[in-house]
Amino acid sequence: MRSFLRERQVVLFSIAVPVVLYPLLLWGMFTMMSLAQERGTDLRPRVGLVGPASFRNLPGSLAGLESVDWLEVPADSQGAAEAIAADSLDAALIVRPGPSFEMLYDGSGEAGPLARRRIENALEDVREGELRQRAMLHGVSPTSWEYFHMKALDIASRREHGSFMLSLMLPIFFTVMVAVGSFYPAVDSTAGDRERKTWETLMSCGVDRNAVLTAKYLSVTTLGTTAGLLNVGSMTLTLSTILAPLARGAQMPAFSISAGSIPLVVLSSLLLAAMVSAGMMILASFARDFREGQALVQPFYIMAILPALLLQLPGLRLEALTALVPFLNTALLVRAAVLGTAGLLPTAITVAVSTAAVAIMMRAAGHISLQEGAAAGDMRLRAPALLQSFIDKRSEKGGAHAG
């Protein structure tokens, strides 16, 4: 572990990145979004008005619409379309007798749809005002004319809003961070040791080789768990600041994780790191050097992260069925922990499935790593030969063993 912590890459990816990178990235992203929104507010689409002169006397709310620039255009819709195609207009409002309105706009940019939204809102106000006046002329009061009035009130607390937002973002970042935190140590402790020729140094020590492998595995798992937890803590503490640019005076959600949820978050981190570390170490065992190890482990890294992306599907939650899927179950457990909805049975299934996955992978890792070729730092193993050696080993009784 001491050797790991003196390696810059480990400190960077297992500690610094989880704490700093994602919060910084998110802050940057949301700041850009806020700037984009502000720019949208300042943008004034160019809108042409087409129709007979008598219909150009638009109601005040539309004629006085300050969020668009009304321009003179050719007299007909054909000319308006040509002007939009030539980018001298963003949209055109065609007024016909009735009245009826038709809007032409360039949907491939940002100004055209913006013009449409603003003019549609303004026309809705016009319609509302006209209907209200006609109702009053017929002796219908505005209250009864409205028929019903609906009022919506969000009763969720700021904390509940915060928990919901955390539950959307944390699982994926958490999964990525655990995988990132485990990646370098897993490759370094296997393929890296072979490249540095320290593998054989360890394998010739007066200790059971399975114990050496277990110690390496626990180091990698510890770093992966740490990376995941640091990220959770960092995100929780900084999310208010990150989202502040978007708040615009509205009440910010309160981001926190309840004390009761923390053990489950720690458990999830541990289980995920255990599975990721085991898988990565198996694959890196086939590598002769660090670069080869990276190449072998990369697909597994992506595979470990993919299930967390499924969390964007609506209605996906931790249940008995989803708890059976490794990697997905731990991401769902984090979400459930943050929301305070983790049930006992799904949690128990998650623990059981993850532990079984780890046990199987570590057994495989032990069998691969402790082959003579591996013990001697010379890996030329192929799957059929490995399988054969596993079968031979199982059929031997008290035969020679590599440890």
Contacts with other proteins by CB under 8 A lie at: 2-3, 6-7, 196-198, 200-208, 372, 375-377, 400-403
Sign of CA dihedral 345, 351, 354, 357: negative
Q: Are 10 and 188 in contact (CB under 8 A)?
A: yes
Q: Which is nearer to other proteins, 135 or 202 (CB)?
A: 202
Task: Tell the smallest beta-carbon distance from residue 174 to other proteins (Å).
Answer: 29
Q: Are 268 and 333 in contact (CB under 8 A)?
A: yes
Please name the amino acid found at residue 257.
I
Sheet with strand 91-96: strands edge to edge: 69-71, 46-50, 91-96, 100-105
Separation of alpha carbons 31 and 57, rounded Å:
42
Separation of alpha carbons 135 and 129, rounded Å:
10
Task: Tell the smallest beta-carbon distance from residue 5 to other proteins (Å).
Answer: 9
Task: Tell the smallest beta-carbon distance from residue 289 to other proteins (Å).
Answer: 14
Q: Which is nearer to other proteins, 177 or 223 (CB)?
A: 223
Task: Tell the smallest beta-carbon distance from residue 376 to other proteins (Å).
Answer: 5
Q: Which is nearer to other proteins, 7 or 110 (CB)?
A: 7
Q: Which is nearer to other proteins, 6 or 397 (CB)?
A: 6
Return the DSSP state at 322.
G
98 in the Ramachandran plot: left (φ > 0), alpha (ψ -120 to 50) or beta? left
Q: Which is nearer to other proteins, 245 or 373 (CB)?
A: 373
Separation of alpha carbons 144 and 5, rounded Å:
73
Q: Which is nearer to other proteins, 141 or 395 (CB)?
A: 395
Task: Tell the smallest beta-carbon distance from residue 364 to other proteins (Å).
Answer: 21
Task: Tell the smallest beta-carbon distance from residue 294 to other proteins (Å).
Answer: 19
Given the DSSP bridges, would you call strands 69-71 and 91-96 parallel, antiparallel or unpaired?
Answer: unpaired
Separation of alpha carbons 241 and 88, rounded Å:
41
